[in-house]
């Protein structure tokens, strides 16, 4: 699995978890969902993703996007 697929998997998982927590625990979890969305948006324009930087340090194979 390369960095691109791992970033998408982490983002999708965190979005689904935060949506579930917003329904079961507290509505403020939607702020976390928004943070993930903003991070994905800025990564699309800048090419800089904090998770991708971290995964590069663990020698995960690079993908096309990061």
Q: Is 48 helix (H, G, I), strand (E, B) or coil?
A: coil
Cα(first)–Cα(last) distance of the chain, in Å? 13
Q: Which two tokens stand for residue 33?
A: 């969902």
Asked whether the beta carbons of 3 and 62 are under 8 A apart, the reply is: yes
- pLDDT attached to residue 14: 95
Asked whether the beta carbons of 52 and 3 are under 8 A apart, the reply is: yes
- pLDDT attached to residue 27: 93
The predicted-structure confidence for 18-62, as pLDDT tens digits, reads as follows 999 999 999 999 999 999 999 999 998 998 899 999 999 999 998
Distance CA(21)–CA(15), nearest Å, equals 10
């Amino acid at each position: 699995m390369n960095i691109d697929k791992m970033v998408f998997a982490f983002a999708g998982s965190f979005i689904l978890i935060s949506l579930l927590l917003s329904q079961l625990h507290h509505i403020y979890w939607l702020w976390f969902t928004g943070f993930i969305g903003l991070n994905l948006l800025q990564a699309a324009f800048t090419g800089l993703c904090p998770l991708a930087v971290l995964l590069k340090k663990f020698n995960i194979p690079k993908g096309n996007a990061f």
